A = this chain, B = another copy of it.
Amino acid sequence: MTKLSHLGEFGLIESLKRFQNLSQRVVKGIGDDAAVLKVKGGRYLLFTTDMLVQDVHFSLRMSPASVGHKALACNLSDIAAMGGEPVFAVVSLGVPGNISASYVKGLYAGMWAVARAFGVSIVGGDTVRSDKVVVNIALLGEVEKRKLIRRQGARTGDWIFVSGPLGGSFKSGRHLKFTPRVKEARFLVGKFKPSAMMDLSDGLAGDLAHILKASCVGALIEEKLIPRHRGVSVDRALTDGEDFELLFTMPSARAKKLLEYEGPEKFRFYPIGVVRPRREGFCMVRANSQVEAVEVKGYRHF
């Protein structure tokens, strides 16, 4: 078994060069002080980062490829949430000196599969020693100015949607293999532009509260409309994190057309309620038709 301490950082960098996507827009990738990249005019850059730490976000028992997958996919989800296309990534890796080279290659293989599927070029990084495995990815995306979507922008009367069933992501292991909703988001901003959007990372209750706060509105959602994974209670669907589905709002006329849309794209979006005036707060119609205030408690990182 080749230990990373034998391969060394330069050996690792050499073995990673083949992962470089040969995008014409990468003037210089791995192997200089910084990557050199061409940008498209008339677009905004989107810039995001996520850190995954061993024994907090994943364990060494999980396959390294799935950890690499998640590390990149959760960044892609953030770019999707703004309506953008992911383009370039840099990867920082902290690993113990005695970790196997195959573990590190597995991590990169997982990242690279996601990068390839979504047209992302991994253009650089840093590899350092660390007691525990730490994976940090910073991702650049781009969005046409008119397609940018933010958390503010939801208006009273808008419908509220999610892009898939919720809950139980961590327990089921789905958090390690989810598909970031980049294609769904690009479909939406191209054909049915949402008024506000974000990705569900901390749980529906907490994340919808972010959109409501940013947009100065309230909401009424319906328990029986919330799509859930098998065996997941409504409360878990509201508060479990790491679903990485899109949460968005849309004016009702457009929302009806979205639900009637029959094109080549077979995406499914689930209406779960409507935006209400701020004074009405954030409420849910229970299955028994009682209306209750939604308690906002998302995933707490500390």
Contacts and interface: CB of A to CB of B under 8 A. Distances in A.
B56 A129 contact: yes
A82 B32 contact: yes
Interface in A259-302: 300-302
Interface in A50-97: 50-53, 55-57, 77-79, 81-82, 84, 88, 90-94, 97
A49 to B, nearest CB: 4
A182 B4 CA distance: 33
Contact of A301 (B56, B82, B127, B131): B127
Contact of A34 (B32, B33, B37, B84): B84
Interface of A: 4-5, 8-9, 27-28, 31-39, 41, 43-53, 55-57, 77-79, 81-82, 84, 88, 90-94, 97, 123-132, 134, 136, 138-141, 143, 148, 150-151, 198-199, 214, 300-302
20 contacts: A8-B300, A32-B82, A33-B79, A33-B198, A33-B199, A34-B46, A34-B81, A35-B48, A36-B46, A45-B88, A47-B140, A49-B92, A49-B126, A51-B128, A51-B130, A92-B136, A94-B134, A126-B136, A134-B136, A138-B138
